[in-house]
Every structure is written in structure tokens, then in C-alpha cells.
Amino acid sequence: MSLQFIIGNAGSGKSTLLYQQIIQESLRRPSQKFLVIVPEQFTMQTQKEFVRLHPSHAIMNIDILSFERLAYRVFDELGTDTLTVLEETGKNLLLRRVARERGDELKVLGRNMKKKGYISEIKSLISELSQYHISPDDFLAMADGAGMSASFRSKAEDILVMYRGFLEAIAGRYITAEELPELLTRVVDQSRLVKGSVMAFDGFTGFTPIQNQLLRKLLTLAERTMVTVTCDVRENLFGAWREEDLFAMSKKMIRGLTDMARETGTELEDVIYCDGKERRRFVPGGYLQHLEQNLFRRRAVPFGGECAKGAATDDAADAIRIYSLASPRKELEFVASQICAGVRQKGYRYRDFAVVCANLGDYRFLVPRVFDAYGIPYFVDAKTEIVFQPFTEFLSSLLQMVTDRFSYESVFRFLRSGLTDLSDGEIDELENYVLATRVRGFRKYDAPFAVMPETYRAEDLVALNEIREKFIAPLRPFCASVRGRKHTAAEISEALYRCIVSCPAQRRSSRSEAGAVRRLTRRRRPGSTVRSMGSSWIFWTRWSFCSGRSRCPWRNIRNFWRAVLRRRKSA
């Protein structure tokens, strides 16, 4: 059992050194298991980097995992019976149910629960409390502590009502993602995967109390543990530190792991300091390296003199340039011109460029216009609103038809979602007839059209009835199953599922996505409609599980669905 720190500045080569050490040792010891733990969002990138660095470009005895994936691997190995993991949408639904059932107990915050985004804020607070292992009793003791105002205590009591109600609702049925490390801590000492393995932690700035409990166990089980830490090597890493220090989180992590190693009897190996001489991200002696070593430092030194030898190139001399332009569009046009110049004149590739924005919302909708005009291929790393997807429009208009009793607006919003069997010409013909005769209500559409306006002939009416039948036939079972004012979530979800299966929505969605793949359009990602179908249906399934047998009016269901659409995004 040993613990080793690899410490260095940003861009000094800590991760590369760690990866190369693990690869070399894995080649010498092919039967040894190596586990590399990184934050969830970096698992794919880390796997790609390992494959690139490996001489065989394949990793056989090296696993790259996050804490969550490590938990699932151990549970699968041991056959641990885990409950269903409740994700963010499920938490929101359960908390909304708790707020409805315990509204009389919410003295201060009760009137705010229906405000947009308020349930999400309560959910985030409860997730934070769970993540830091703060029970309702701990929170109550904190609220009753000295120095807390009466206003805070009143709000804390309402939060406790929601917290306890949430825990009671998931007891024996669900587990939250924040509880997975705690469950893993209970069973990890039985895992052959972890026992005797070499473990490495990369990309972390600190650990939560629950993760620290797990790390205490892992230190005693692993043969060797390595941890990379981003910190200025000129700092006193093992001495006193203050919360406002630039590298306070890194020093706190080093102190916590060192104390943990001493308590568990784990040997502390010599620290490896990365000075950036062999592996560096920045040009030696250049402006960027100087900026990294002096930005936000207490004893910052101004850059004096030219770049170091080997760095005095045109690119290095202009490594940092600041421009001020009139608008975000002008900024993007300037960036696009610079990218084109770099590709045409200096031999760069489009993939060599990255555009980083402080607020992506100000630029994301301008990027397609500007970059398309300059012929630049691009990828915008932002989630799209599922409210603009055809399947989401199909579901929303279906709910609207029920609540608005097949009004003109709801019917033709449904038909123009593009997921019905009617062609554009047939929809136009039906719309003209509906406007002329003011047809409204399910019964009017269910019965053959008999009213004949002045300009219509008998054969026109026959054709219109064929169009009407093509529209209403798939909806008859759905309308029959949702008659009445109130229904449970399970009844509504089942009715929607049967309607989707009977309607051509799924088939036409797949067909439209196949066309999108062939066209390779930049403005809309292939698979977006399929993803919106999955995202929408996951919501209805979770809602049916979380809402239980409580009944809800159709109008409330539709309003709730609209609120969910405003918050949910698809990848």
C-alpha cells in the first residue's frame, strides 16, 4: 500500500507522465490490473489519450473509469442488488409530488413551489446535502446553531420538510447518484477488481466527504495509488494555507490524502514534481508560459525582454492579442477570417482551432450564419432545446388537442408536426374545409363530414372524408382511453404509448433522421429527433413511477409538460 503525488503547474505534463508510467508498467506486468479514475466528463478523452500513447494502440489491462462507473463495475462483479438510480428528472418529479402532498406543512416556502425553476433549486440543495453526507438531523442542528436568524430557521424548517419527504419517497425504491459512492464503500473490500490493483486519480481538484470515505478504503486495498495535483511547484504545498489562496483546493486535497494515508498506515512515496522541462504545453520562455506562472499570483512579475531562444518566432511574439469589436457577430466574423487565413496561408487544419466563449448563449445562434458563410466546418458544444424537435411538437399538440377539445389551432399544429400520414396538400385541403365550416371537437372529426360549402362538390366531400378518416383513425383508441377529467400518470403514459405506436410518428421520425444523415447538414445534428423521442419518453415513464396513483386534470398535465420542455435539453 503506497500513495504518490504527481504535482506540477498547468501544462507541465503531469497527466502525460502518469499515463506513460502506467502504460510502461502495464507492459511489464500484463496480469496486473490498472484502474485510472477521472471525472465523468473526461473518461472518453482519457481513453483516446491512452490508446494514442500506447505502443500497441490498445489498452488491455488498463480501465479508465469515473467514480460512478467504478461503482457499477464492482456491483456487477459482486452481484450487488442495487435500487433504481433516480436521476435529475426523477428528483424533480418526486419533489413536486412531495410539495403537493405536504403543502400544508410548508409555512414560508409553500407559495414559491409553483414558481418556475424553484423545485429545481430545492433539488440542487438536497443533492448537495446528500453529496456532503448531511442528514436532516445534521441540517436541523446547523439551523438551530448560534447566529442563525429566525428567518433562516423558518426557511430551514420548510427545507427539512421537503428533504425528509424526499427521503421517505425514495426509501426502498430508489437510490440517488450521490449515494453510489457510499454504497460502494460498503462492498468494495469484497471486490477482486480493486484488491491489489494499481489506481491512479487524474483531473480532480478535491473530493467530497463521501468520496473521501471511499478513498480511505481504496488506499488500503490498492497495491499503489497515484494522484495528480495541479499546483504551482513554487508554493509551500505541505504548509499552512488560506481559503483565498489560488491553490487552496489543491493544498487541501494534498493535506486530506496525506492524513488519510498516515491513519491507514499507507506508505507515502517521494513526490514527483513536474517542472515542464520535458513535457510542456507552452512554448519555453513564451508569453503564455509567463502568463501561466504569474496570473493571479501575489508576486506577479511583468514580462521583461524578448522570448527565450527558440520561442522568438512570429507566432510566439503574437501569442496573446487583444481586439475590441462592436458586437458578437463582428467578433465571430473576425475569428472566421483568422481561421481561414491560418488554413490557407500557414497550413493549419480546421480541427486545430477552438473558439472559447465566456457566455456561449450570446454566440451559439450566430455561429451557423457566420461560419457557413465562410465555409468553415464547426461543432457547437451546446445542448439543443427539445421543444423545437418534431416529436416533442407531436406530443405537445396531442395534449393540446385533448385540453382544447380539438380546436383549429391544436389540430393543425398536430398535423403540421410532420409525423402524420397526411401530405402537405391533404392538410391544406382539410384546413380550408375546417375554416369554412368551423369544425371543432372530437365528435365532429369522428363523424363523416356532411356540410357542403358553396364552392365544394360531392366528390370533394368524399375526398375530404378520406383525409379525415386517415387523420382520426389512429387517435380513436387514445381519445376513448382518456375520457374524463382526471387520470393517473400510469394511465396517461400508457395511453400516449399506445397512440405513438398506432400513429406513424416513430416510423416517420426514423425516416426523417435517415434523410438528415444523408444530407449531413450542419445546422441540425443527425439523430436529434430520435434523441428527443427518447428524452420525452423517459420523462413520461419516470413520471408514471414517481407520481403514483394520484390523479391530475388534463390541463395541469399539459402545463406541467410545457414547464418541463422549457427546462429539458437534448444532447
Q: Looking at the structure, do residues 360 and 423 belong to the same domain, yes or no?
A: no
Contact at 8 Å (CB) between 89 and 542?
Answer: yes
Q: How confident is the model over 61-85, as pLDDT tens digits?
A: 999 999 999 999 999 998 887 777 8
Nearest alpha carbon to residue 231 among 10, 3, 5 = 10
Confidence of residue 317 (pLDDT cuts 50, 70, 90): low
The pLDDT assigned to 310 comes to 44
The pLDDT assigned to 512 comes to 47
Contact at 8 Å (CB) between 512 and 411?
Answer: no
Q: How confident is the model over 34-45, as pLDDT tens digits?
A: 999 999 989 999
**pLDDT value at 300 more than 50:** yes
Q: How confident is the model over 406-434, as pLDDT tens digits?
A: 899 989 988 888 778 888 899 999 999 99
Q: Does 179 fall in a domain? A: no
Helix and strand numbers, DSSP H then E, in the chain: 24, 13
Contact at 8 Å (CB) between 314 and 283?
Answer: no
Q: Looking at the structure, do residues 498 and 517 belong to the same domain, yes or no?
A: yes
Q: Looking at the structure, do residues 136 and 267 belong to the same domain, yes or no?
A: no
Q: Looking at the structure, do residues 480 and 398 belong to the same domain, yes or no?
A: yes
**pLDDT value at 53 more than 70:** yes
Burial class (CB in 10 A: 0-12, 13-18, 19+), 31: exposed
Q: Looking at the structure, do residues 508 and 367 belong to the same domain, yes or no?
A: no
Q: Does 409 fall in a domain? A: yes
Q: Looking at the structure, do residues 155 and 109 belong to the same domain, yes or no?
A: yes
Q: How confident is the model over 185-233, as pLDDT tens digits?
A: 999 999 999 999 999 999 998 898 889 999 999 999 999 999 999 988 8
Q: Does 253 fall in a domain? A: yes
**Of 76-80, 234-238, 502-506, which has the strongest mean pLDDT?**
76-80
Q: For residue 261, give the CATH number of its domain.
A: 3.40.50.300
Nearest alpha carbon to residue 181 among 67, 63, 41 = 67
Confidence of residue 393 (pLDDT cuts 50, 70, 90): confident
Q: Looking at the structure, do residues 317 and 418 belong to the same domain, yes or no?
A: no
Q: Looking at the structure, do residues 43 and 152 belong to the same domain, yes or no?
A: no
Confidence of residue 513 (pLDDT cuts 50, 70, 90): very low
Residue that the C-alpha cell 412531495 belongs to: 98
Distance CA 221, CA 198 (A): 10
What are 402's three cell numbers? 385533448
Q: Looking at the structure, do residues 260 and 309 belong to the same domain, yes or no?
A: no
Confidence of residue 544 (pLDDT cuts 50, 70, 90): low
Domain that holds residue 55: 2-80+185-274
Q: Does 90 fall in a domain? A: yes
Distance CA 293, CA 317 (A): 18
Q: 239, 274, 309 — which closes off a domain?
A: 274
Among 110-124, 391-405, 446-460, 502-516, where is mean pLDDT lowest?
502-516
The pLDDT assigned to 311 comes to 47
Q: Does 176 fall in a domain? A: no
- In 25-101, DSSP assigns E strands to 34-37, 62-65, 84-86
What are 528's three cell numbers? 436529434
Q: How confident is the model over 246-289, as pLDDT tens digits?
A: 888 999 999 999 999 999 999 999 999 887 666 677 777 777 77
The pLDDT assigned to 516 comes to 38
Task: Tell me the pLDDT of the chain averaged across its residues.
Answer: 82
Counted domains in the chain: 5
The pLDDT assigned to 384 comes to 64
DSSP letter assigned to residue 484 = S
What are the residues whose beta carbons fall under 8 Å from the beta carbon of 205, sequence distance 6 or more?
A: 230, 249, 250, 253
Q: Looking at the structure, do residues 50 and 147 belong to the same domain, yes or no?
A: no
Between 341 and 483, whose confidence is greater?
341
Mapping DSSP to helix (H, G, I), strand (E, B) and coil, where does residue 49 land?
helix
Between 531 and 463, whose confidence is greater?
463
The pLDDT assigned to 276 comes to 63
The pLDDT assigned to 515 comes to 45
Among 15-19, 92-96, 192-196, where is mean pLDDT lowest?
92-96
